[in-house]
Structure 1
Amino acid sequence: MPPNTLTNMTFPPQSSPIHIFTTRDPNISPNTFQTNTVIAACVMFLAILIAWNLPVLREAISGLKLLTVGLHELSHLIVGLICGGQVVSICIDPNDGGATHVMGLMRTTPRIPRDPYAFPSFAQTFWSPSAVGTLAAGYIGSSLIGFLFVVSTSGRCTKLMLDIVASKVCALVLHIGLLVPILRADHWIAYASIIGCEVILIGLWFGDHGNALRFYVLFVGVMNLFYVVWDYVDERLFDKRNTSDCAQFSELLGWPTSSWFIFWFVYDSLVFTSAIFAGICVFRRTDDQMYHEA
């Protein structure tokens, strides 16, 4: 290369993808960002855990619970249809949980147990990869939805360290998602909770350029991402009619229900951690840039 060639080269601007994902950017300081975001998420996690199970608060957030349970069951539905199953019924209840019954996924011939002294259950004898994949799709789908919401609220900003524009995009999704359950709601509490959630969403949208809206989206993201916790604890405390997916895994593959809960909780924790780091790499804005874009 001639000596003067370097002077004629043009380098990518600061907002290009190459600059965003470079590891040599001296402006990356994830330590402070991670501390604030993890603290906010932990507070929201405890708030959801309390509100999900207390008699009065669990009714107040029934609108968001319907949305969370509905997205979870939608994941079961999509994968079940892809695997060739036939959907029999779907139940979405904010207190009893959800249930999606899909036929045609189990084996038609029984499995021969490796241990001749083992006594597997009927489900363990006839389970198939399609049945396991459809069952796992619920927690995986909820974690992916929560991942997207957490990433959209995990931009690096000098003060609040969240991204406004991406949160507004997610808020539009939440707006539509909250309106869907109202078509099938059968109790005035569900209607009141959905309307209340919509009013808060609209108010945060127009207040201060949607600054606080990011925390609303982060709250819903945590609620979806850690759905396994609400699903398992709700079953243990209230003995709900629709059993948790952890209990379904125990029936289908063995292992205690608590072991499956620990497995999926560790998985969700890893997804949350990856969402934090993904937000650092993708959304890096100053306060002035965020307000201008919003």
Structure 2
Amino acid sequence: MPPNIIIPGLIAEHTSENVSVQVLAKRAANITPNSFQTNTVIAACVMFLAILIAWNLPILRDAISGLKLLTVGIHELCHLVVGLLCGGQVVSICIDPNDGGATHVMGLMRTTPRVPRNPYAMPTFAQTFWSPSAIATLASGYIGSSVIGFLFIFCGFDIVASKAAALVIHFALLVPILRADHWIAYASIIGCEAILIGLWFGDHGNAIRFYVLFVGVMNLFYVVWDYVDERLFDKRNTSDCAQFSELLGWPTSSWFMFWFVYDSLVFASAIFAGICVFRRTDDQMYQEASRFLPTR
């Protein structure tokens, strides 16, 4: 192309890209949260402690069993999808609010034993026959839960985004009904749906974002509930941390710390992204929320 020929469309596109990059860079340079965002961060941190308590106390465990089924179901779905993509065959899947989840996939382990690097080592059967496909399928649970948690926490910084995320939760809560086998689980799911519907009315749905934040924190830090359940209640289905210990060595507690640090970094990333992207005043956010699926 001759150098003296100028295409306006390319210039406009290039200019718009530069403007977008400059806007994002400007937002990233100023990450000081406003009062709305500060309250969101504080709420997310408090919810971590609230879920840690509610997940393990007898009565509260049953009260949130609907959301627990949803969280465990998402975690096991990630195992299932990656296991199938790696060429495995799903034998069984268990989703239980108290015993946790378990997805058994065959055809992922090595067919020939792995030669240990240390000739004096005594590896277990699982450590001898593990494969990258088995590790990817096992890791997909915590990674998938963290991705879902990231998205929900990110949406919690905006009312409109929270409304969109709430629609996803509405339909996702209907799926655990297929796996529920006790009236407590059914009652909890109905209660969770009723609360979510009720939050749509009043203050243009502002309270919905706290519900979305709650679900996001519950999914993101699934490794904590998974590990604590195993330690306190000796649940039937072992945690993924124990599975990693069986496959690759290292103590279960070390794997827990590894995934907890990973989840903490994802949590910080979700907060950073929410603060940078949703740079709006309270009035702007309420005006947008009043136009998106208004309830009054």
Q: What TM-score do you get using the length of structure 1 for normalisation?
A: 0.89
Residue 28 of structure 1: CA displacement?
5.1
**2:204 pairs with one of 204, 209, 218:** 209
For 1:143, the equivalent position in structure 2 comes to: 146
Q: Compute the displacement of 1:39 (Å).
A: 2.3
Q: CA deviation at 1:44?
A: 0.5
Distance verdict in 2 for CA 1:233–1:114, change over 3 Å: same
For the residues of structure 1 that align with 2:35 and 2:183, how far apart are their CA atoms?
Answer: 44
Unmatched runs of 5 consecutive residues or more in structure 1: 1-8, 155-162
Match status 1:85 vs 2:88: yes
Q: Does 1:60 align with 2:63?
A: yes
* Partners of 1:19 and 1:25 within 8 A in 2: no
CA shift at 1:183, angstroms? 2.4
Query: Does the alignment pair 1:270 with 2:265?
Result: yes
Quote how far apart the aligned CAs of 1:101 are. 0.3
- Tell me the distance in 2 between the aligned counterparts of 1:24 and 1:45: 27
Q: Does 1:132 align with 2:135?
A: yes
Q: Which amino acid aligns with 2:182?
A: H
Give the match for residue 102 of structure 1.
Answer: 105
Rounded to whole Å, the distance in 1 between the matches of 2:214 and 2:106 is 35
1:133 positional shift: 0.3
After TM superposition, give the deviation of residue 34 of structure 1 in Å.
Answer: 6.5
SS of corresponding position for 1:101: strand
For residues 1-294 of structure 1, what are the structure 2 equivalents within 5 Å? 17-18=20-21, 20-23=23-26, 29-30=32-33, 35-154=38-157, 163-294=158-289
Judge conservation of contact 1:106–1:128 (CA < 8 Å) in 2.
Answer: yes
- C-alpha change, 1:234 and 1:24, in structure 2 (3 Å) is closer
Decide whether the 8 Å contact of 2:27 with 2:277 is kept in 1.
Answer: no
Q: Is the 8 A contact 1:229 1:265 kept in 2?
A: yes
Q: How many residue pairs get matched? A: 275
Unaligned runs of 5+ in 2: 1-10, 290-296
1:4 — aligned with what?
A: none
C-alpha spacing 1:28/1:229, structure 2 compared with 1 (3 Å): closer
How many angstroms apart in 2 are the aligned matches of 1:130 and 1:32? Answer: 46
1:20–1:281: structure 2 CA closer, same or farther, 3 Å change rule? farther
2:36–2:282 Cα contact (<8 Å) kept: no
Question: Once the 2 structures are TM-superposed, how far is the Cα of residue 263 of structure 1 from its aligned partner?
Answer: 0.2
C-alpha contact 2:79 2:137 (8 A) present in aligned 1: yes
Paired with 1:48 and 1:245, the residues of 2 have a C-alpha distance of: 19
Does the CA-based 8 Å contact 2:31-2:272 persist in structure 1? no
SS of the counterpart of 2:181? coil
Q: 1:148 to 1:240 in 2, by over 3 A?
A: same
Against the structure 1 CA distance between its residues 41 and 108, is the aligned structure 2 distance closer, same or farther, given a 3 Å change threshold? Answer: same
Task: Tell me how far 1:73 sits from its aligned partner.
Answer: 0.3
> Secondary structure in 1 aligned to 2:116?
coil
- CA distance 1:145–1:136, shift in 2 (3 Å): same
Q: Which amino acid aligns with 1:134?
A: T
Aligned-pair CA distance for 1:110 = 0.1
Q: What is the letter of the counterpart of residue 288 of structure 1?
A: D
Say which SS state the counterpart of residue 23 (structure 1) adopts. Answer: helix
The corresponding residue for 2:8 is: none
The AA in structure 2 aligned to 1:68 is: T
